[in-house]
Chain A
Amino acid sequence: MSGKTGSISIREKKRRRAGYSLIAPACLVLLVIFFVPLLYAFAISISDSDAVINNSFRFVGLKNYFSVMTNSKFLAALGHTCFFVITTITLEFIIGFVVALLLYREVAGSRVFRLIFAVPLMVAPVVSGLQWRWLFADQYGIINALLDKLGLAAPLWFTQVSTSWVAIIVANLWLATPFVILVLLAGLGGLSEELNEAAAIDGANRIQTFFHIILPQLKPTILIILVIRLTDAFRIYDLVYILTGGGPGGGTEVLSTFIYKRIFSDWKFGQGSAAAFLVMLIICALSFLCNKWMSEEE
């Protein structure tokens, strides 16, 4: 880059300066609303919690980080969150692809379905959490009523860790998959038909076309979905809070509920912020890997 700047004409330089001055206010706002809180949160994470409560700062080094990393509840929450993220994103992609490919084919009513699939996106997670809690209710919930009709033994969903996870993941799929579907549809819409036709002429079947023609072209789309959904899934809070409260027995405790409780019921601001920072580092690392994966493939 430095080699090129020398050769830029004065006119071009002027043009660029004007451009920079135009985006400067926006950058400034971003700086204030993003970096200031970020730095502040970092400051809290290396300060003593009691000092924070008194609006002051007492440097304690990485003590908060160590106490968080050796906290069994944090490690359990980390494990639970990773399990949740992997499971839900895998399922979201599988369901997302099936539905997107069906809708993309312009089957009858596909426009209506596109609209219907967008509905969960407009529902607040808290609302949908409550709605699913009623649906999964054991005495009057419709899910258990249907299972009963089918002659299946309906579980008491929120009394076991495994079935609690099923409830959380199903509720989350309902909320999050529509986003995956819509972005995939947009991605599919941008593909050229020519390649598909060429593949068909060469004798590729549908499955081969999907894996060797469509999928590689969708890589940027998948990447976008992956990055957004990863960060979102890592932050899951509302659904867990409403459906299980992290129970039974801490079996569905996730990072956000852990951080929330550390800060707002235990007043351990330092540890809470340290945990939040660790989570941020994990997510940054994951998105970095995603980016790397994309650039390697290109």
Chain B
Amino acid sequence: MRKKILKTMMCAITAMALLAGCGSSSTENTTGSTEETVTEDTAGNSETGSTENTAEAADYTGTKLVIGVESGAPNIEFFKNNVSEFESATGITVEWVEIPHDNMHERFVQEAISQSGAIDIYDTDQPWISEFASKGYLEPLGDRLSDEDKNDFYEAALDASSYNGELYSVPFFVHTPIVFYRTDLFEEAGITEFPKTWEEYEEAAKKLTKDGVYGTIIEAKQAGEPVTHLVDWFYQAGGSIIDADNNVTVNSPENAEAFNFMLKMMYEDESVMPGSIGYDNADVHNMFMQGKVAMVKNWPYMFAMAKDPEQSKVSDKFAVAIQPAGKEQSTAAWTWGFGISSSSKNKDAAWEFIKWATSSEKLAQLGIANSNPVPRTSSLEIVTNDSSLTEFDKESIQVMSDALQYAHNATENPNFPTIQNELSYTLSGIMTKQVSVEEGLAEAEKAIKEAIQ
């Protein structure tokens, strides 16, 4: 008998240990609903019932807003540092729920499904907008944002925050990958102008590969981030992932051409760092700042790091440029923004926060503080007139903002995370030559069709 109990216990422990890892969706769900935040509705405007935006008249004193954000993100740090300004003006208190990026999606999904209203505002990463909006987890914001504001934001920025023509998140940060390149090495190699086309880019990469420095990096770790760069390659080759009628168009000659070009640079020209196929963006910024590579495609976040002499060996030897064009001059636009949870009980107060956070001045201050591109025309004006920034900063911010002219929304389909996941196999499989380009794309098309039906 004792042994039997021991056995059952062993099995129980085993199962419990297992579920702790795998079944977290269920356990978290049960706790999620008990976590409901109690909010005092002194003003009695808990619902969106008040159609008119009588912001001045509304009294939010005592209202508590819970905002789910990415922990450690420089943008969020900026808002956290400045939020007292908003709190004292409105009487609203803001509570931050900070989640590492890797866990954010999972945490938000659980919160959205449980509909507990525990989080009022989501810090939305681009691919989640259409995913959440299609399931009704985000509040439509099109009517709330004034026409004046709508005209002030870049078109790509609002477009990338929309699903089926409706706005679901107001962007505070819009970016598209740009090229960081070493001005000193360009000079040495006698390249006077930054490559405008793929062919020029390839030539430059060959010339720049010498003395242990490689021309460029093509990321291919099996992960989500490298796929975002693959999307740029596809777009530039004239290809796509899904067409306007929602047909999967992965297996196209254009996409094959993109892969063949990448493979050529990697294996024939040998101008790409050989370990690249195991890299993601963290490796890219390390390699660039260590001076081991002449040109890299990466996100604007790297600018502030690369110009910091404490962490970068190339702090005064680089510049940024718009990505070279293939058949098309194009990249994908990605936004970070604030969206209101449809189960929030403080939607009007939440909108007050969003209005404050995405105002022209705040976004300009954010751009200046982090040397980031800004998503509003009027903010860019403030930035270019700011005296605290150097000419180099201003020029670079201008390039990052200009790059958005060519940027498109890649994540209109609500199944983008699935697509991204499938493409991560394709990218890694093809670039490590485990599958041919034809096989890889055919497999991806089949898998994506199956997964999103």
Contact = CB atoms under 8 A, between A and B. Distances in A.
Q: Which 3 A-B pairs have the closest CB atoms?
A: A247-B222, A158-B278, A249-B429
Given A265-B418, A287-B10, A159 B277 contact: yes
Given A34-B15, A158-B278, A249-B429, 10 more contacts: A53-B113, A138-B278, A159-B274, A247-B278, A250-B429, A264-B105, A265-B420, A266-B418, A284-B14, A291-B6
A264 B21 contact: no
A36 B12 CA distance: 13
Interface in B214-230: 220-223
A282 to B, nearest CB: 9
- Give the interface residue-count category, chain A: 35 or more
Contact of B25 (A160, A231, A272): A272
Contact of B283 (A41, A137, A235, A283): A137
A38 interface: yes
Contact of A235 (B22, B279, B415): B22
A145 to B, nearest CB: 13
Contact of B11 (A53, A230, A284): A284
A38 B290 CA distance: 49
A259 interface: yes
8 contacts: A34-B16, A36-B30, A138-B274, A139-B273, A237-B21, A247-B222, A248-B432, A279-B22
Contacts of A138: 274-275, 278
Interface string B245-277: 000000000000000000000000000011101
Contacts of B30: 36-37, 40
A38 B425 contact: no
Interface in B275-331: 275, 277-280, 283, 286-287, 290, 292
A140 B17 CA distance: 37
A263 B221 contact: no
Contact of A276 (B18, B431, B451): B18
Contact of A249 (B26, B287, B434): B434
A250 B418 CA distance: 15
Nearest to B11: A284
A276 B19 contact: yes
Interface of A: 1, 33-34, 36-38, 40-41, 44, 52-53, 55, 137-140, 156-161, 164, 227-228, 230-232, 234-235, 237, 241, 244-251, 256, 259, 261, 263-267, 269, 272-273, 275-276, 279-280, 283-284, 287-288, 290-291, 295
A283 B432 CA distance: 33
A45 B115 CA distance: 21
B3 A250 contact: no
Given A231-B18, A244-B222, A265 B417 contact: yes
A140 B287 CA distance: 9
Interface of B: 1, 3, 6-7, 10-19, 21-23, 25-27, 29-30, 102, 105-106, 109, 113-115, 135, 220-223, 273-275, 277-280, 283, 286-287, 290, 292, 415, 417-418, 420-421, 424-425, 428-429, 431-432, 434-435, 451
A165 to B, nearest CB: 13
B26 A41 contact: yes
Given A247-B424, A249-B435, A295-B3, A276 B222 contact: no
A137 to B, nearest CB: 7
Nearest to A156: B275
B223 A245 contact: yes
A245 B434 contact: no
Nearest to A38: B19
Contact of B222 (A234, A248, A288): A248
Contacts of B280: 245
Contacts of A246: 222
A164 B221 CA distance: 11
Given A137-B283, A235-B17, A276-B22, A156 B274 contact: yes
A287 B429 contact: no
Contacts of A156: 274-275, 277-278
A159 B279 CA distance: 9
Nearest to A4: B1
B428 A248 contact: yes
A158 B23 contact: no
A73 B280 CA distance: 23
A139 B435 CA distance: 26
